[in-house]
Structure 1
């Protein structure tokens, strides 16, 4: 009945646009996660200011974060090189597990 009435009034069948899923339903707006078109840089000053603050925030938090991770690894008698695990996707979880180890007295060898 839902297809028959609009067909009789307009002469064509309605096109169903309802898609189900988290990225295309009536509740969530559909959007593309990836684009295959050419990348165009925005000329908006708002975007430039946002990117500037994002870069400052990145430098202000990443360097101390690595420093704290290295100090925690040294406290549990591990090399600070393990902190480089944070740059690969599953490495952050491994680094978190290593950081939860208890302190060991042998880690004092890293203290100056």
Structure 2
């Protein structure tokens, strides 16, 4: 939860680096919190408000998820523009996943100094 809140504090900060832990914990908690409205749909209470909650949460998480992804790419020594590889059909998403799973650069790179390499 600490990493999720840390990423939200850097809501639209595209500079700097994000460790693997920060990125994957943010992603995990984002998916968990996105599932909460679906639980309301299955319980059949508050069904009218669940789609609204889903859309509001998705809209609120666009910038933080993009920012933490760009910072994660910076941590591996790549430009944030590598995110656009995601739009290549079939192979793009797999390629981006591989880039996001790579180890951090141990030394300082052009994006920031190494503070928490993992």
Report the TM range for the smaller structure's normalisation: 0.3 to 0.5
Tell me the TM-score normalized by structure 1.
Answer: 0.46
Which structure is larger by alpha-carbon Rg, 1 or 2? Answer: 1
Of structures 1 and 2, the one with the larger relative CO (CA 8 A, separation 6+) is 2
| Larger helix share, 1 or 2 | 2
